[in-house]
Chain A
Amino acid sequence: MLESSKESLKLEAMKRIVGDPNQFIRASALRVLSSIRVPIIVPIMMLAIKEAAADLSPYVRKTSAHAIQKLFSLDADQKEQLIEVIEKLLKDKSTLVAGSVVMAFEEVCPDRIDLIHKNYRKLCNLLVDVEEWGQVVIISMLTRYARTQFTSPWKEGAMFDENNEKAFYESDSEEKKGHTEEKPYIMDPDHRLLLRNTKPLLQSRNTAVVMSVAQLYWHLAPKHEVSIVTKSLVRLLRSHREVQYIVLQNIATMSIQRKGMFEPFMKSFYVRSTDATHIKTLKLEILTNLANEANISTILREFQTYVKSQDKAFAAATIQAIGRCATNISEVTDTCLNGLVLLLSNRDETVVAESVVVIKKLLQTQPTQHSEIIKHMAKLFDNITVPMARASILWLIGEYCERVPKIAPDVLRKMAKSFTAEEDIVKLQTVNLAAKLYLTNSKQTKLLTQYILNLGKYDQNYDIRDRTRFIRQLIVPSEKSGALNKYARRILLAPKPAPVLESSFKDRDRFQLGTLSHSLNSKATGYQELSDWPAVAPDQSVRNVEIIEASGSDSEEESSESEKTSSDSGKSSSGSEQSSSESELEQKKKKKTKKVPQKKSKPTAADRYSEIPAVCWSLRASFFFPVTTSSFGPVKTYELLHHMTGKGLAAKYHFPRQPCLYQPSMVAVQVILSNSSDHSLEEIHIGDRSPASLSIHCFNTIERLEPEASVTVSMGIDFSDSTQAANFQLCTKEDQFSVSIQPAVGELLMPSSMTEQDFCKEQGKLQGMNETSATITMETANASSQAISKQVLSVANVGVVSSSQNNFSRFAGRTVSSGALVLVSLELKESSTALLTINTEKTVMASMLLRDIKQALTQA
Chain B
Amino acid sequence: MIHSLFLINHSGDIFLEKHWKSVISRSVCDYFFEVKEKAVDPENVPPVLQTPHHYLISIYRGKLFFLSVVQTEVPPLFVIEFLHRVADTFQDYFGECSEGVIKDNLVTVYELLEEMLDNGFPLATESNVLKEMIRPPNILRSVVNTLTGGSNVGDTLPTGQLSNVPWRRAGVKYTNNEAYFDVVEEIDAILDKSGTTVFAEIQGVVEACVRLTGMPDLTLSFMNPRLLDDMSFHPCVRFKRWESERVLSFIPPDGNFTLMTYHVSSQNLVAIPVYVKQNINFFETGSCGRLDITIGPKQNMGKTVEGLMVTIHMPKVVLSANLTATQGNYTYDLTTKVLVWDIGKLNPQKLPNLRGSLSMQAGAPKPEENPSLNIDLKIQQLAISGLKVSRLDMYGEKYKPFKGVKYLTKAGKFQRLSLSFL
Contacts and interface: CB of A to CB of B under 8 A. Distances in A.
- Tell whether A pairs with B: yes
A832 interface: no
Contact of B55 (A309, A524, A590, A630): A524
Given A132-B235, A246-B77, A568-B238, A520 B48 contact: yes
A58 B164 CA distance: 12
B44 A304 contact: no
Given A73-B21, A238-B203, A598-B162, A520 B395 contact: no
Contacts of A200: 239-240, 243
Nearest to B118: A66
A133 B161 contact: no
A420 interface: no
B211 to A, nearest CB: 18
Contacts of B275: 786
Interface in A808-829: none
Contacts of B215: 583, 586-587
B125 A516 contact: no
Contact of A583 (B217, B236, B296, B419): B217
Most-contacted residue by chain B among A211, A567, A793 (CB, 10 A): A567
A308 B196 CA distance: 20
Nearest to B236: A567
B166 interface: yes
A569 B240 contact: yes
B44 A276 contact: yes
Contacts of B43: 241, 276
Contacts of A566: 164
Interface string B123-134: 101000000000
B72 A133 contact: no
Contacts of A73: 21
Interface in B185-239: 190, 194-200, 203, 215-217, 219, 229-236, 238-239
Contact of A310 (B78, B80, B267, B315): B315
B80 A243 contact: yes
A36 to B, nearest CB: 13
A793 B413 CA distance: 26
A859 interface: no
B121 A66 contact: yes
Nearest to A631: B267
Given A206-B81, A208-B81, A570-B240, A277 B235 contact: no
Interface string A573-603: 1011001101110110110010001101000
Interface size class of A (residues with CB under 8 A): 35 or more
A204 interface: yes
B298 interface: yes
B395 A515 contact: no
Given A59-B161, A519-B76, A301 B421 contact: yes
B396 A586 contact: yes
B97 to A, nearest CB: 13
A126 to B, nearest CB: 12
Nearest to A264: B266
B369 interface: yes
Contact of A525 (B21, B71, B77, B161): B71
B22 A246 contact: no
B190 to A, nearest CB: 7
Contacts of B121: 66, 69, 100, 103, 133
Contact of A786 (B243, B298, B396): B298
A133 B78 contact: yes
B267 A630 contact: yes
Contacts of B199: 267, 270, 632
A240 interface: yes
A612 to B, nearest CB: 15
A799 interface: yes
B217 A136 contact: no
Given A204-B235, A277-B44, A580-B395, A95 B245 contact: no
Given A347-B368, A524-B73, A575-B241, A516 B234 contact: no
Interface in B268-316: 269, 275, 277, 279, 296, 298, 313, 315-316
A633 B396 contact: no
Interface string A492-535: 00000000000000000000001111011010111110000000
Interface in A210-261: 210-212, 231-232, 234-235, 238, 240-243, 245-247
Given A203-B239, A580-B395, A582-B217, A516 B263 contact: no
B244 interface: yes
A858 interface: no
A757 interface: no
A128 interface: yes
Contacts of A376: none
Of A235, A270, A304, A628, most buried by chain B (CB within 10 Å of CB) is A235
A520 B55 contact: yes
A131 B60 CA distance: 26
A211 B81 CA distance: 11
Contact of B73 (A128, A525, A630): A525
A55 to B, nearest CB: 13
B232 A593 contact: no
A669 B279 CA distance: 33
B87 to A, nearest CB: 9
A632 B197 contact: yes
Contacts of A540: none
Interface residues of B, number: 106
B267 A580 contact: no
B325 interface: no
Interface centre among B164, B203, B263 (most CB of A within 10 A): B164
Contact of A570 (B217, B241, B413): B241
A274 B421 contact: no
B236 to A, nearest CB: 7
B194 A800 contact: yes
Interface string A301-328: 1001100111000000000000000000
A118 interface: no
* Interface-centre pick from A22, A210, A526, A570 (highest chain B CB count, 10 A): A570
Nearest to B47: A242
A516 B74 contact: yes
Contacts of B296: 786
Contact of B258 (A58, A205, A524, A593): A205
A514 B395 contact: no
A37 B77 contact: no
A823 B159 CA distance: 75
Interface string B366-377: 001100101000
A149 interface: no
A491 B340 CA distance: 63
B249 A579 contact: yes
Of A231, A304, A517, A583, chain B has the most CB atoms within 10 Å of the CB of A583
A587 B163 CA distance: 11
Nearest to B39: A277
Contact of B47 (A37, A208, A245): A245
Contacts of B313: 273
Given A241-B47, A277-B44, 11 more contacts: A205-B233, A205-B235, A205-B258, A246-B76, A267-B198, A304-B421, A520-B50, A567-B165, A571-B240, A583-B215, A587-B215
28 contacts: A200-B240, A205-B261, A241-B47, A243-B84, A245-B48, A267-B199, A270-B198, A273-B313, A273-B415, A274-B413, A277-B41, A308-B369, A308-B419, A309-B369, A516-B73, A516-B74, A525-B71, A570-B244, A575-B219, A579-B217, A590-B163, A590-B170, A598-B162, A624-B243, A632-B197, A632-B199, A789-B195, A799-B194
Interface of A: 22-24, 31, 34-35, 37, 57-59, 63, 66, 69-70, 73, 95-96, 100, 103, 128-129, 131-133, 136, 140, 200, 203-208, 210-212, 231-232, 234-235, 238, 240-243, 245-247, 267, 270, 272-274, 276-278, 301, 304-305, 308-310, 347, 514-517, 519-520, 522, 524-528, 565-571, 573, 575-576, 579-580, 582-584, 586-587, 589-590, 593, 597-598, 600, 624, 628, 630-633, 751, 753, 786, 789, 793, 799-800, 802
